[in-house]
Structure 1
Amino acid sequence: MRKVLGDYTYCLDSMYVLSSRASLRKDTMVTRRNIRFTVDGLSLAGTLHEPDTRDAGARPAVLVAGPSPQVKEQVPDTYAVRIAAAGFPALTIDFRGFGESEGQPRLREMPAGKLADLRAAVSFLAAQPDIDADRIAIVGICAGAGYALKAAAQDPRLAAFAGIAGFYPDLRTLRDAMGEDGYRAALRQAIEVLAEEDRTGEVGYLPHVGPIGAHALLQGGEVYEFYGSERAASANYRNEITADTMYTMLTLDTATAADLVGVPALIVHGEKDGACPPERAVAVHDRLAGPARLEWLPVDTHIGFYDDEASIGPAIAALTDFLDKSL
């Protein structure tokens, strides 16, 4: 399958060939290696994108965490191939319960499980003979940025963190926005889904996205324009999620992890983002314990960071500059 992003062209088979702009090293060849590793008794699938730079010695590497509930072949691979073309081996994974990875129930957002998966992915990278275990960075996009932030706080092997168009939930901010009564009412309604699962033993599902008025987790807007079209097409992606996901969203807090992230950090965000408000990116940046850089891009989109060169190109340029200086 061939995708085209601006002046970049790559083939999603065994080899990528990219033409160049400022953020890429010209004519860099990137190979793709399918890998598997085990965590909590589960076999997880990943893709290691490796630059054919023939450099001597071990190289720094990057772990890429994508949006939820995406699979590795979607946005994660889009970023990983560009990162690899800049000279950094880049690993994408299917989290447990998604894509080609094992795990039950399928399509459930499991924060603790995702963090364990990222930890095991770091272990995989650190064990590779051509990768410098002391120079591994983690990069996240959308919800993956929040998980990457928390991973960077909890795993001292990670030498740098970057979040792109990040979703950084903060429970106190959410409760204040909804009001105490509103938050408790939403929480009670959401937990009833899990209570029903407790009673019946059956896992409920609903569409991940749908048009306005549909019975779906997310409705309308640019999110539906992306996931509800061929733009999000992938053999391993299903427009479905467990019905308890709203409870997870109401109880997930990754923003406060910034207090414990002392490694070099980069936040890339659009000046306007209806899905992930820019003020949340500022709040995370200001909480970071180590050296931090906040890069604003003059765009008014969130989903543009998924497949629009106007957002992806500048984000990759800022990211590769940061990686060059931090690893």
Structure 2
Amino acid sequence: MEHDSRLTDDGEAERSTIEQDESKHLAEKLAMLEQQLEAADTRLRQTAERKATLEEEKRSSAAADAEARRKVEQQVSAHEGTIAELRQQLGVVSKRQEHSKGGPAAEDLAALQRENRLMTSAWYELSSRLQHNGVSLGRRRHEPKSWIGRQRALVGPSTGLDIEFKTSDDVTLRGWLYTPVNAEGKKLPCLVMAHGLTCLKEMDLELFAEYFIARLPMACLIYDNRCFGASDGQPRAEVNPFLQRSDYSDAITFAQLSPEINPDKIGMWGTSYSGGHVLWVGSVDRRVKAVLSQGPLVSGWENTTRSVRPDFVHHFLKMFQDDRHARAQGHEPTRIPAVVPDPMQPAAMPSPDNYHFFTAWEKKSDWKNEITLKGVELVRSYDPAVNIHRISPTPLLMTGADNDVLTPTDLALAVYGQALEPKQLHIVPGGHFDVYDGPNLEKNAGCQAEFLKRTLCA
């Protein structure tokens, strides 16, 4: 009996312990559930607050859009009113012209017609920018979308004439002379323009020229560098910076002797490699009245040091020597690719952004992916900015991108600091090629046009 009693007591104690454990476990689980519920309530409250905030922001944004639309409509109305007034004046002048051939009335008519075209062009530029910002005016949807397309369609085609001229060493260079519409009989300021390393004039130089002549009473002379494109010169694909900068001065001479050009108002424009050329020529050729240097190469040695891996340098030096020996023995110059998809392969410009830019143009132009080894060797020895302090008092504008790795931004900025007044610096976001197209093109070209207006066209 006593044994049975002990067994019963032990069983009850065990059950009591189990019940206590279960009770404790349930209490802990309940506490955890309460915490989870509290956290869920907090998240729900935060979500509700966020929803309310978003709704308030949406209402504020709608109000801001409405205000922006109201201002836009006011601007559009003002533009349309101006255009209507100009057209009315055109009608009056046209009637005068019927009674008087030529003379002041004809000049007034031409001026008003040009002003009318420019005002119309301005309306479309405003429309494009507003549409880009999400405000649609819903007019003229059939017009070209790009600003240069609208410009060509509305301001009228430019008169790009084929030209050619001889250099001091009797090489024929060929290009185009752009003049504004209705520029007959006027002596125009002229901007002499050439492209960068291995580039052709067709590679968007005409966009800058057309932009300038549509906004300013000036001409633009564009030409292919010797040994490239339509220009003569042997060996082909050879880039000699010392001859190229001499060619700039010969182009200036040609412009001065052209009947359309004011010989006392010649400016220079260069980009990348030629951006360095204009720094040199602008410092020694006092016929130049304005210098525009875009993304310039300012130190060939520093540029090469950054773009060529140190363990590749010895190989390149050996290639330079072998090429010199081959030339001395009458063999053809050695050529290498200008760009390559694999940066481990030898090339003049081995970075990926170079490859993408140039191969795109290879498909739609006569650009060839080659450069002589001597041209690459000469880059290392080229130091075009050494005289930048001597450009003054000629006005200088240097433009570029804030993340240029082809002609490094910091090198250009350091050299710009050595230039004397008058000078101006304009930097846009992006890389080396972002100044040629996309949203930066108009910012870049617009700044250059304003500079030309204040200097060359003043």
TM-score range, shorter chain: 0.7 to 0.9
| Structure 1 stretch displaced more, 245-254 or 195-204 | 195-204
Aligned to 1:144: 274
Q: How many angstroms apart in 2 are the aligned matches of 1:174 and 1:7?
A: 34
Aligned to 2:193: 64
Deviation readout 1:88-132 (Å, 9 max, x if unpaired) = 211111111111111111110111211221111101111122211
- RMSD value, Cα: 2.6
* Counterpart selection for 2:152 from 11, 15, 18: 18
Q: How many angstroms apart in 1 are the aligned matches of 2:210 and 2:304?
A: 39
| Structure 1 stretch displaced more, 310-319 or 193-202 | 193-202
Aligned to 1:292: 423
Q: How many angstroms apart in 2 are the aligned matches of 1:290 and 1:234?
A: 41
Task: Write out aligned runs for 1:1-327 (5 A).
Answer: 6-9=146-149, 18=152, 27-39=155-167, 40-54=169-183, 57-87=186-216, 88-169=218-299, 171=301, 173=302, 185=314, 188-189=317-318, 191-192=320-321, 193-212=323-342, 213-229=344-360, 231-262=361-392, 263-297=394-428, 299-306=429-436, 308-327=437-456
Q: Is the 8 A contact 2:194 2:225 kept in 1?
A: no
Deviation readout 1:26-68 (Å, 9 max, x if unpaired) = 6254111000111111211111111114376422110112111
Give the unaligned 5+ runs of structure 2: 1-143
Relative distance call for 1:300 and 1:285 in structure 2 (3 A) is same
3-state SS of 1:259 partner: helix
Q: Is the 8 A contact 2:194 2:224 kept in 1?
A: no
Q: How many angstroms apart in 2 are the aligned matches of 1:284 and 1:30?
A: 36
Q: How many angstroms apart in 1 are the aligned matches of 2:176 and 2:260?
A: 16
Relative distance call for 1:295 and 1:237 in structure 2 (3 A) is same
Alpha-carbon distance, 1:182 to partner: 8.5
Q: How many angstroms apart in 2 are the aligned matches of 1:175 and 1:80?
A: 31
Q: How many angstroms apart in 2 are the aligned matches of 1:197 and 1:95?
A: 22
Give the residue type in structure 1 aligned to 2:148.
Y
Q: Is the 8 A contact 2:225 2:244 kept in 1?
A: yes
Which is richer in helix? 2
Deviation readout 1:242-283 (Å, 9 max, x if unpaired) = 122321111111121312211100011112112122112212
| Identity across the alignment (%) | 22
Alpha-carbon distance, 1:5 to partner: 8.1
Q: Is the 8 A contact 1:164 1:315 kept in 2?
A: no
With structure 1 as the length reference, what TM-score do the two structures score?
A: 0.85
3-state SS of 1:9 partner: helix
Give the residue type in structure 2 aligned to 1:81.
E
3-state SS of 1:295 partner: strand
Structure with greater contact order relative to length (CA < 8 Å, sep ≥ 6):
1
Aligned to 1:14: none
Alpha-carbon distance, 1:151 to partner: 1.4
Q: Is the 8 A contact 2:362 2:369 kept in 1?
A: no
3-state SS of 1:106 partner: coil
Give the unaligned 5+ runs of structure 1: 11-16, 20-25
Q: Is the 8 A contact 1:66 1:75 kept in 2?
A: no
Which is richer in strand? 1
Relative distance call for 1:73 and 1:241 in structure 2 (3 A) is same
Relative distance call for 1:45 and 1:177 in structure 2 (3 A) is closer
Aligned to 1:23: none
Q: How many angstroms apart in 2 are the aligned matches of 1:300 and 1:174?
A: 19
